[in-house]
Homo-oligomer: A and B are copies of this chain.
Amino acid sequence: MRKLHQRRWRDKLGLFSAEGEDLVAAAERAGWPPEALLRSGVDVEPRLLDDVSSLGSGSRVIGVYPQRWSDPSGRVMAYLHAVDDPGNVGAVLRSAHALCDGPVLLGPGCADPFSPKAVRASMGSVFARPPGRGDPANLPGTAIALDARGGRPLAEAASDLAGLPGPLVICLGAEREGLPEEILSRAAETVRIPLREGGPESLNVAMAATVALYELGNRMARHV
């Protein structure tokens, strides 16, 4: 269990752990049976469970699950490029599950969605709608690049975008680096979230993704 705190071991074993009753219940609702389930005071001594917990406060239950990945599907997906903060990756999983019908595709350099921090930030959405693997050279739909530095305002572009054929893949990069040229040059459109002058140069990437999914996920749902 302690090994599963490390990405190297999660990758090697194809497993991950989820701590706490809410996450274990989310896995059960999603029909995702654990390989092992350790309940404090039932299956193991409380102190032993605290010892293998990734939380300072310890856990009452820890489940170990096989990793699962989604295939591309739905009318609106998000693609993240080199988003290396697990809290942000988990937060986007949750927002996408709430706002659009497709999975979040994770490209090169992204944080592991099965890390303890990402699983917690997803609030169980990692089970309900597992992430997919994203290839920037081969996105499964019409790429829309979200760029803090340029492009049409999102709201203005949204009604046109809703009319585009095939699934939309809303692409976001890491906050400082943005998206690679490979994606910017192939995107059907580059859009931006209008920000006030004199304010921050960009939103946090999970905030930007949520705003884009709110605008486009909603509109696509109405368009269909």
Contact = CB atoms under 8 A, between A and B. Distances in A.
Contact of A210 (B94, B128, B203, B221): B203
A204 B95 contact: yes
A123 B200 contact: yes
Interface stretch (A5-13, A40-48, A190-198): A190-198
Interface in A173-224: 193-196, 198-200, 202-204, 206-207, 210-211, 214, 217-218, 221
Interface stretch (A98-106, A108-116, A136-144): A98-106
Interface residues of A, number: 34
Contacts of A123: 200, 204
Given A207-B91, A214-B211, A98 B128 contact: no
Copies in the complex: 2
Contacts of A202: 98
A81 interface: no
Nearest to A95: B207
Interface in A68-98: 87, 91, 94-95, 97-98
A131 to B, nearest CB: 15
A214 B193 CA distance: 8
A178 to B, nearest CB: 16
A98 to B, nearest CB: 5
A155 interface: yes
Interface string A23-57: 00000000000000000000000000000000000
B99 A204 contact: no
28 contacts: A87-B87, A94-B203, A94-B207, A95-B203, A95-B204, A97-B196, A97-B199, A98-B196, A98-B199, A98-B200, A99-B195, A99-B196, A101-B196, A123-B204, A125-B199, A128-B198, A128-B199, A128-B200, A155-B218, A194-B218, A196-B217, A196-B221, A206-B207, A207-B207, A210-B210, A210-B211, A211-B211, A211-B214
